[in-house]
């Protein structure tokens, strides 16, 4: 599953909360009638309700508290049932939270140490019971397994923020269109998910937990289906794009420029998922390296990394005339043109690409806002786009560009940027934009928060997605 770009402290809008409601709370989810729409979701597209999944599992549906008679099992015998110690005289035992949200969190906490086994079992169930779905997934499933667990963990740990969850799940629903996901696929996925959880979360599993997960997954599915259906009315699932230029900037960094087969609307600072013809169904995210252009061309800065399927294909194999696929644009690391705040931009390695796009975006809007760019790399020759940034600095007096070189094997590209930023400032009138390696972004956020910048003024690519995008 995909993960969107977010600010460091996302907060959903009231409109999103009205659409999603407290669907992850203890109340049962209200389902629309067949062929109709949910009156509490005014923007739902009629006739597209998800088919409720069947409660499945190991047949026992038991836990220590809600199973009076254990179901018979074969194989390894059950360990002796543990009993909680009796409270001391005069001491009241704390009440356990039995809400649906608490059950979801406890389930995820139980399976987190064995997430690989759980997700592997889930996909084994899915492909055995529903072999036709295998073609929707890439040949190698390692990254996909990680994304599934991260998506579940995100849902379970943010159950009390329905607005943010609705925004997150809507993004997933739109993004899954490029995989060929259809509404009829969701019940099969839910059935196998419940089966995997019931096998590996036995300490917390039982009828209550199963009912909570069935209701939660049904609601999750409906939000994703609705978002995909709305997106289908305005945009294709993907765009075909022909490579029109391929420029090597360093031995392992290329600037790839493509021409989409139809208009491709996006904002400076956003990113797109790319699929190459050499690795079908393997998508990776890359930021746009410029603001929208009048000729409609799109440019990406790509660094080939060891064992990186898509990155190596784009750097080593792609050439003029090759055709790749583009997913829909995504990300919220965009400029708010309704404020006079300055922009503090940290770009490490190829993370300078969206920073350059932001600078172009500010220039086109014609407002003299201060833009301070810190461009970091491990060595001097890795500052492959410094000349371009310096030319922009000469053209725009409101722009300042500083280069930061780590000059060592420790830390990675841009690891010294946070320290450099802390030596300058003050930054209390600036909004921060960070793009680069995950370690740089984590250090950068910590540094900015440490010097007093509010987290809602710090924007960056999702850390989880950055890890996957490097391949």
Residues 6 or more apart whose CB falls under 8 angstroms from that of 299 comprise: 255, 256, 257, 258, 288, 289, 290, 353
Higher pLDDT, 291 or 163: 291
By percentage, how much of the chain surpasses pLDDT 90?
Answer: 52
**What is the arithmetic mean of pLDDT over 352-377?**
94
**pLDDT level of residue 332 (50, 70, 90 thresholds):** confident
Least confident of 26-35, 130-139, 157-166, 327-336: 26-35
**What is the arithmetic mean of pLDDT over 144-171?**
79
pLDDT for position 13: 33
SS3 238: coil
pLDDT for position 52: 53
Its sign, for the CA torsion 10, 14, 19, 22, is positive
Model confidence at 51: pLDDT above 70: no
Least confident of 112-121, 179-188, 417-426: 417-426
- Helices then strands, counting H and E runs in the chain, come out as 13, 12
Model confidence at 253: pLDDT above 70: yes
Model confidence at 430: pLDDT above 90: yes
pLDDT tens-digit profile of 174-193? 988 998 899 999 999 999 99
**What is the arithmetic mean of pLDDT over 99-106?**
90
Token readout for 375 is 């461009």
Tell me the C-alpha distance between 223 and 29, whole Å. 12
**What is the arithmetic mean of pLDDT over 197-219?**
93
Model confidence at 65: pLDDT above 50: no
Distances (CA, A) of 251 to 126, 231, 370, 381: 42, 39, 34, 10
**What is the arithmetic mean of pLDDT over 105-118?**
91
- The answer to whether the bond into 426 is cis (omega within 30° of 0) is yes
pLDDT for position 187: 94
pLDDT tens-digit profile of 273-283? 999 999 988 89
SS3 153: helix
- The bridge status of strand 371-377 relative to strand 342-348 is parallel
> Residue 434: how many CB atoms within 10 A of its CB?
30
**pLDDT level of residue 97 (50, 70, 90 thresholds):** confident
Mean pLDDT of all residues in the chain? 79
* Residue among 319, 329, 239 nearest 292 (CA): 329
* Residue among 184, 164, 182, 160 nearest 173 (CA): 182
Beta-carbon-side half-sphere exposure of residue 91 (alpha carbons within 13 Å) = 7
pLDDT tens-digit profile of 379-413? 888 899 999 999 999 999 999 999 998 764 444 45
pLDDT for position 32: 37
pLDDT for position 411: 44
pLDDT for position 200: 95
pLDDT for position 63: 38
pLDDT tens-digit profile of 19-47? 333 233 333 333 333 333 333 343 444 33
* Residue among 148, 145, 126, 141 nearest 195 (CA): 126
**What is the arithmetic mean of pLDDT over 363-382?**
91
Tell me the C-alpha distance between 244 and 258, whole Å. 5
Model confidence at 89: pLDDT above 80: no
Model confidence at 288: pLDDT above 60: yes
- The bridge status of strand 342-348 relative to strand 430-435 is parallel
Model confidence at 53: pLDDT above 90: no
pLDDT for position 419: 82
**What is the arithmetic mean of pLDDT over 445-467?**
80
* Residue among 317, 364, 367 nearest 342 (CA): 367
* Residue among 238, 203, 187, 185 nearest 107 (CA): 203
**What is the arithmetic mean of pLDDT over 67-87?**
43
Model confidence at 314: pLDDT above 80: yes
Model confidence at 422: pLDDT above 50: yes
Q: Report the alpha-carbon angle 112-465-116, nearest 5.
A: 25
Over the range 243-263, which residues count as b (16 or more CB within 10 Å of their CB) and which as e?
Answer: bbebeebeebbbbbbbbeeee
**What is the arithmetic mean of pLDDT over 127-153?**
79
| Helix, strand, coil tally for the chain in percent (to 5) | 40, 15, 45
**pLDDT level of residue 142 (50, 70, 90 thresholds):** low
pLDDT for position 69: 36
pLDDT for position 376: 93
Model confidence at 171: pLDDT above 60: yes
Tell me the C-alpha distance between 290 and 388, whole Å. 12
Q: Rg for the chain (alpha carbons), in Å?
A: 24
* Residue among 323, 212, 343 nearest 277 (CA): 323
């Amino acid at each position: 599953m995909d993960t969107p770009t977010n600010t460091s402290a996302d907060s959903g809008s009231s409109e999103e909360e009205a659409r999603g409601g407290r669907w992850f709370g203890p109340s049962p989810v209200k389902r629309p009638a067949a062929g109709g729409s949910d009156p509490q979701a005014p923007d739902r597209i009629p006739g597209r309700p998800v088919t409720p999944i069947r409660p499945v599992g190991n047949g026992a549906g038991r836990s220590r508290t809600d199973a009076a008679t254990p179901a018979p099992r074969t194989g390894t015998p059950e360990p002796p049932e543990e009993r909680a110690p009796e409270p001391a005289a005069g001491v009241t035992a704390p009440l356990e939270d039995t809400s649906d949200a608490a059950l979801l969190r406890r389930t995820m906490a139980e399976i987190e140490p064995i997430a690989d086994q759980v997700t592997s079992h889930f996909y084994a169930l899915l492909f055995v019971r529903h072999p036709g779905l295998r073609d929707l997934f890439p040949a190698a499933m390692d990254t996909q397994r990680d994304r599934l667990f991260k998506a579940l963990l995100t849902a379970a740990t943010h159950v009390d923020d329905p607005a943010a969850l609705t925004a997150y799940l809507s993004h997933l629903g739109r993004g899954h269109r490029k995989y060929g996901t259809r509404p009829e696929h969701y019940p099969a996925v839910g059935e196998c998910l419940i089966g995997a959880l019931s096998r590996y979360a036995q300490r917390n599993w039982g009828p209550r937990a199963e009912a909570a997960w069935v209701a939660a997954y049904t609601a999750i599915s409906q939000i994703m289906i609705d978002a995909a259906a709305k997106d289908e009315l305005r945009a294709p699932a993907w765009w075909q794009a022909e490579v029109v230029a391929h420029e090597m900037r360093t031995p392992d960094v290329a600037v790839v420029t493509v021409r989409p087969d139809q208009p491709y609307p996006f904002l400076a600072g956003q990113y797109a998922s790319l699929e190459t013809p050499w690795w079908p169904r393997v998508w990776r995210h890359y930021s746009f390296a410029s603001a929208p252009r009048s000729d409609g061309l799109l440019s990406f800065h790509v660094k080939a990394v060891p064992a990186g399927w898509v990155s190596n294909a784009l750097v080593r194999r792609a050439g003029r005339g090759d055709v790749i696929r583009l997913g829909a644009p995504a990300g919220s690391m965009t400029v708010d043109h309704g404020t006079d705040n300055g922009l503090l931009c940290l770009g490490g390695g190829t993370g300078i690409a969206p920073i350059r796009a932001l600078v172009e975006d500010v220039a086109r809007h014609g407002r003299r806002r201060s833009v301070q760019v810190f461009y970091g790399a491990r060595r001097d020759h890795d500052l492959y786009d410094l000349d371009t940034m310096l030319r922009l600095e000469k053209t725009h007096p409101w722009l300042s560009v500083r280069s930061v070189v780590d000059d060592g094997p420790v830390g990675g590209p841009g690891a010294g940027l946070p320290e450099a930023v802390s030596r300058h400032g003050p930054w209390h009138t600036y909004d921060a934009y960070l793009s680069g390696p995950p370690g740089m972004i984590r250090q950068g956020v910590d540094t900015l928060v440490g010097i007093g910048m509010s987290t809602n003024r710090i924007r960056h690519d999702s850390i989880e997605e950055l890890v996957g995008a490097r391949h």
